[in-house]
Amino acid sequence: MRSMWGMLLGLCAATAQAAITDVTLDNGMRVIVKEDRRAPVMVSQVWYRAGSVDEVNGTTGVAHVLEHMMFKGTKSVPPGEFSKRIAAAGGKENAFTSRDYTAYFQQMQKDRLELSMRLEADRMANLQISDELFSKEIQVVMEERRMRTDDKPQSVLYERLMAAAFQSHPYGRPIIGWMNDLENMTAEDARDWYERWYAPNNATLVVAGDVDADAVIALAKRHFGTLPIRELPPRKPQQEPEQLGIKRMVVKAPAKVPYLLMAWHAPTLRDWQNDWEPYALQILAGVLDGNDSARLQKSLVKTQQIAASVGAGYDPVSRGPGMFMIDASPVEGKTVAELENAIRKELQKVQQEGISEAELKRVKAQVIAADVYQRDSLFFQAMQLGEYAKVGLPLEALEGRVDKLRSVTAEQVQAVARKWLHDDRLNLAELDPQPMSGQPQQAADAEVSHAH
């Protein structure tokens, strides 16, 4: 009988052999097709390399506002008609904005792909942003900000911590924008953003599902290939200066329970073949969090009973600098200071004693299993391809990710814990609960997405 580990390696090998076609049209638009014939459906996504990281002070949130306006009509498709036509064809559609990109997607029967492309190409070139529709939609966005951030204490804490953690890099600004910028935004701001970034040579089309790559590329040439190339603004590196000591902050907001968020500056994946630290940090996150046997959960929640909840997270795929994060809430009767001290002790154990080969093997299996099982989703397969393309990583990095995770050593996990999780890189925020009348909420999402 094969071990779980052996079965996972087999699954990974099978996944890696799936056919991927990657071409660039004459106008600079990239087309990535992943054939997956398990069901007669497809997902089509158009990604623009334009997110909140590209915004400037005074117009924060404009990337997300423009995402809303993309559903408000072209010369040939009236406002609201885009979604109606997709729904009439039996499809689902939506969009999302992140720090690094904005993406639009449809999930439909495979024979409806041309409809999807025709509509996307039309709004890539012919969007109409009227002052009247903009003035209505900006109110919707401001209400969204109130609901998603201002009324959620953990979201407020996250937003304030990011603003403090990044002194110069635009990752310090919220994706949804500061309220004052939204209050003063104009239709012209949205039109400028559209004219600046919404061009075929700043876009990637990803299609995954029961499709023929040659037919997809032919359709893409017909609908997108005729759109004119546009000169894109130069992008500045905007490197974050090195942090020179711990940053602590207290956020007072209406809430039922205290909350602790710890964030350390960390590297992200650049040279995927030679960088090993991002892969080791992923395994470290799995050592600390991931299931009931992970260290933070086992020690703080089960054994010591000091934390009501605790989690760790790290994302290696990003256009900008990374963060390794731990968040937790204390049980009633325990303080945030006691919780912080308990977390520090668990980190020190990894830094001083390292991890055993048995623990490493178990955590690798869990991390890789999570990655492999996510790929059962067509949508997630397309998401990974689009994300890697838009942050500038080769698709080989996606295919080689499992091998890289598998090659991480126990010594490397200990090394990244020592190097990156120390106080000179730490930003720490404590939520000090104030009297409230509403309900407790969860933390902010990494992306802003919604139904239209």
End-to-end Cα distance, the chain = 50
| Contact residues for 447 (Cβ-Cβ < 8 A; gap 6+) | 96, 97, 98, 175
**At 95, phi and psi to the nearest 5?**
-155, 165
- Determine the angle formed by the axes of helices 277-288 and 336-353, rounding to 10 degrees: 130
State the Cα–Cα distance between residues 412 and 420, nearest whole angstrom: 12
Residue 206 contacts residue 395 (beta carbons within 8 Å): no
Pairing of strands 92-97, 20-24: unpaired
Which letter does DSSP use for residue 233 in this model?
Answer: P
Contact between residue 377 and residue 39 where contact means Cβ atoms under 8 Å apart: no
| Coarse DSSP helix, strand, coil percentages of the chain, rounded to the nearest 5 percent | 45, 20, 35
Q: Which of 61, 79, 62, 60 is nearest to 71 (CA)?
A: 79
Q: Could you tell me if residue 58 is left (phi over 0), alpha (psi between -120 and 50 degrees) or otherwise beta?
A: left
* Nearest alpha-carbon partner for 178 in 148, 147, 145: 145
Quote the radius of gyration of the chain (alpha carbons, Å).
23
CB half-sphere exposure, 256, CA atoms < 13 A:
9
Count the alpha carbons within 13 Å of 441 in the hemisphere toward its beta carbon.
21
- 3-state class of 104 per DSSP? strand
Amino acid at 247: K
**CA separation, residue 116 to residues 42, 49, 89, 166 (Å):** 11, 20, 10, 39
Catalytic residues, by residue number, are: 67
Tell me how far apart the alpha carbons of residues 148 and 280 are, in angstroms, rounded to a whole number. 33
Those residues with Cβ within 8 angstroms of residue 224's Cβ, 6 or more apart along the chain or in another chain: 25, 27, 29, 31, 117, 120, 121, 124, 200, 203, 205
